[in-house]
Amino acid sequence: MKGSPDVRLEQSSTMADKVSVTFSDGNQQIPGGFYEFAKRYPLPDGTLYQGFVEASADKIFESTDS
């Protein structure tokens, strides 16, 4: 779990597993999906924080980039 109530967001995610997909030119191993879990905290005006914690996104995009 990364983030905290102090930054108005706690989040975690899974890494994308490779899945075998059949294309017209053969089978390829490609990244599948990942799940992200987020708990957002209210801002002083009552709206929920809509950003993300940059340090938490360091591996998510890499896991699906092939």
pLDDT < 50 regions, the chain:
none
pTM (global) more than 0.95: no
Name the residue among 26, 37, 39, 30 with its Cα closest to residue 63.
30
Q: What is the dihedral of CA 64, 51, 47, 34, to 10 degrees?
A: 10
Which one-letter amino acid corresponds to residue 49?
Y
Determine the pLDDT at residue 34: 78
CA pseudo-torsion sign 44, 49, 54, 56: positive
Provide the token pair at 36: 């992200």
